[in-house]
Amino acid sequence: MKTLVAKHVPELDGLRGIAIVSVIIHHQLTPFSLNGGFLGVDLFFVLSGFLITSLLWEEFRKTASISLRNFYMRRLLRLGPALAIYLAASLLVTYRTQAIELTRQLKLIALAVFYSTNWRMAFGWDSTLDPTAIIWSLSIEEQFYLVWPLVLLGCLAVKLRRRFIAGGLVLIVLVIAIHRYSLLESGAELTRLYYGTDTRADALLVGCVFGLLHSKSSQWRTKTWLKVASLLSAGGLGFLILTAGFSDELLYQGGFTAVALLSGVVIFVAANAPPRLLSTALRFMPLVWLGRISYGLYLWHWLVVRNTSFYSLGQWEPLAKLTIAVGIAAASFYLIEKPFNQLKTRFAARSPNPQSTSTKIPSENVTSGRTPLVVES
């Protein structure tokens, strides 16, 4: 059997870099602030849905199946080791510096381990902004990925065509947007709308739709209008990151879905045939590098924000915290994440010999010759 080779796309690392920079600026790790920096999480959501769906579809196209065991093992190797060390450090630091009972912190860590942090914040079970609070977004992603590969595999097993799968996803996105709006109108707290999986999964689903389109992207690569749309979408997304506020009701009245759509257009074009301006910006090396360490930086910057202070440094305090956070994240990437990521090749999809494959794939599914993308979402 032949292991499927994944192609690395620097532009997508650049987008990760933009997402993490937006978040850490929003969390005041720089002397200046960014009102809508929290939308960097939405960019992460869409990117994750796009990458995972692209790889799952490509695996099915090449092997006529999807190995759920291999998928979940890759996710575990990607996220588990760094998260385990972060949670251990969180417990130690919190126990020594914050007035949180040990048993309470252990409960919060248990919720994080089972990727349920978003629900305790959405329903106000415990709204403590402890070090595990940052795991709310990872919780939404992992809950989603307990379901989506199974659904996609089921759709492919019954030979449901790609356009029907994408159409179904679009319908669910609309349902989620309406559901979020109805909760807002009924007086639900914004935290319920912001942290609930049922009210935020539309961003992941939008990424999945663009992931399905990616598998036949050769049909789109020469479309000038799409490149123009990507530049306009990037500009719109940048404007919202600069100006949006967490309490802006417009976000909960369809704005989050619009942010996901803008992100999806930019991601789709960046992964295929980005215009020179967009490609040059996203290939900016510091941005690409920050994108590569973004998982660790997303975790560790929050621990630094909540548990360190350098008042004597005055206006330089945020930059001191940023330096520490980047240093720890880099160490996490090179010493922990990268070695475990290399083990993921043991669970990579493998293309069987042509004569050994008896399952037929619908003809629509074999039109693409795309090389799968690297997934480190």
Instruction: Tell the burial category of 156 from Cβ atoms under 10 Å away from its Cβ (0-12, 13-18, 19+).
Output: buried
| Beta carbons within 8 Å of 25's beta carbon, 6+ residues apart | 32, 33, 34, 37
> Residue range 107-118: average pLDDT?
95
Query: If residue 350 lies in a helix (H) or strand (E), which one and from where to where?
Result: strand 350-351
Task: Yes or no: say if 372 and 171 are a contact pair by the CB < 8 Å rule.
Answer: no
Task: Read off the pLDDT of each residue in 96-120 and give the average, rounded to a whole number.
Answer: 87
pTM tops 0.75: yes
pLDDT at residue 320 tops 80 = yes
Q: Which residue has the tokens 């978040």?
A: 23
CA–CA distance, 161 with 155 (Å, rounded to integer): 8
Return the domain boundaries, the chain. 33-292
Mean pLDDT, residues 265-285? 92
Q: What's the pLDDT at 219?
A: 61
| Most confident by average pLDDT, 5-9, 36-40, 60-64, 272-276 | 36-40
Residue from 241, 229, 215 nearest 265 by CA: 229
pLDDT band at 1 (very low <50, low <70, confident <90, very high): low
Whether residue 371 is predicted with pLDDT greater than 60 in this model: the reply is: no
d(C-alpha 312, C-alpha 249), whole Å: 39
350 has a pLDDT exceeding 70: no
- 3-class DSSP string for 107-156: HHHHHHHCCCHHHHHHCCCCCCCCHHHHHHHHHHHHHHHHHHHHHHHHHH
- Average pLDDT for residues 262-269, to the nearest whole number? 95
- pLDDT(217) > 50: yes
Lowest mean pLDDT among 30-34, 87-91, 171-175: 30-34
Residue 33 confidence class, pLDDT cut points 50, 70, 90: confident
Task: Note the Cα 95 to chain centre separation in Å.
Answer: 30
